[in-house]
Amino acid sequence: MALKVVFRPEAEADLVGLYEYIAERAGYRIAGGYIDRIEKACMALATFPKRGTSRFRVLKTEVEIVTIAYAGRHFEDDV
């Protein structure tokens, strides 16, 4: 059974910020494509929720995307 994938407001804000950052440097088309691939990867968690780095929560009926992070992000700075 596939789970429902939901994005918390913080994760949605991360996607918007990432889109804007990429768009400023590489253009809107490239930024849009990048965000589309991230969203596709997130939606794939509906059928295989235990893969990848856990920046999401697997609940009884849904996978909750908590944050979208890039490799250079320092989470300690967010506290």
Span 53-69, pLDDT tens digits: 666 888 889 999 998 88
Instruction: Please state the domain count of the chain.
Output: 1
CA–CA distance, 67 with 7 (Å, rounded to integer): 8
What DSSP string runs through 23-45?
Answer: HHHH-HHHHHHHHHHHHHHHHGG
The list of the chain residues with pLDDT below 70 reads 52-55, 71-79
Long-range pairs of 12-21 with CB within 8 A, sequence gap ≥ 24: 14/67, 14/68, 14/69, 15/39, 15/68, 18/68, 18/70
In a domain, 75, yes or no: no
pLDDT recorded at residue 79: 46
Model-level pTM? 0.80
In a domain, 28, yes or no: yes
Q: What is the domain extent for residue 27?
A: 4-69
CA triple 12-78-60, angle to 5 deg: 50
In a domain, 79, yes or no: no
Per DSSP, what are the bridge partners of residue 64? Answer: 6, 57
In a domain, 78, yes or no: no
In a domain, 77, yes or no: no
